[in-house]
Amino acid sequence: MPSLFRRRTTTAAVDGAATTATASGGPTPEQPATSGADSPAPAGEAATRRSRRGTTPSKRELGKITPKRPSPHVRRPGAPPPSSRRGLTKEERQELRRLRRERRREIAEGMRRGDPRYLSARDQGPVRALVRDVVDSRRTTGTWFFAGALVIVIAASTPIAEVILAANALFIVLVTAVVVDLVALCRRVGRLVRERHPDTTEKRSSLYFYAVMRAMSFRRARIPQPRVSVGDPV
């Protein structure tokens, strides 16, 4: 290993310091010099002597103070509330629950009213609003499909053969009426979208599915709520 990168040992450093002190007439490391008042050497001189001996002085000897890391459990004034509830008090947890309930109630009410700020991505846009108006302006047989299917299932569970036959026939009629009505609804939706929004990038299949799902739900359960009444022009 080259001598340029070799670290000088403590013994060599002490011998060098002793030789220098002897040549200059000063005290040796075995006989430290004392001041007239026999007071200890300052921190700066101690750090200098340590550096001469080949050791690194500590931050305390250099007069530096390491700042303490702030505790994560101590809330400083003006700091935002923690994202988890672990560092909150009982009152703060109750207040957080109350704010969340109010926020959920506000979002649900905004979605029910049709406020664009609270609508989901599925319901946003003028094209989707037009589809909702088309569905809400007419009566659909799909609204009563599930109720009729439930009645048919109950009737078909009876041991009477005539009732079972009538239930099966009624089910076929109901399914046919729903399919015909939904096909007519989708054709009307496609025609109005082409007329009023010819530059839209919405897929027709997505709009048809949106119209069918809204037509299959009860009118009072639709979100957003209908803006038009049955029979109003769209």
Distance (Å, whole) CA 135 – CA 208: 11
Half-sphere exposure of 25 (CA within 13 A, CB side): 0
Predicted local distance difference test score (pLDDT) of residue 84: 59
d(CA 188, CA 193): 9
- The per-residue pLDDT for range 134-176, each reduced to its tens digit, is 999 999 998 888 889 999 999 888 888 899 999 999 999 999 9
Residue 8: per-residue pLDDT: 52
In this predicted structure, the answer to whether residue 128 has a pLDDT above a threshold of 90 is yes
Closest CA to 73 of 59, 84, 63: 84
Q: Where are the domains of the chain?
A: 3-53, 88-118, 126-221
Q: How many C-beta atoms surround the C-beta of residue 195 within 10 A? A: 9
Decide: pTM greater than 0.75.
no
d(CA 88, CA 76): 13
Q: Under DSSP, is residue 175 helix (H, G, I), strand (E, B) or coil?
A: helix
Tens digit of pLDDT for each residue in 165-199? 999 999 999 999 999 999 999 999 999 999 999 99
Residue 49: predicted pLDDT: 58
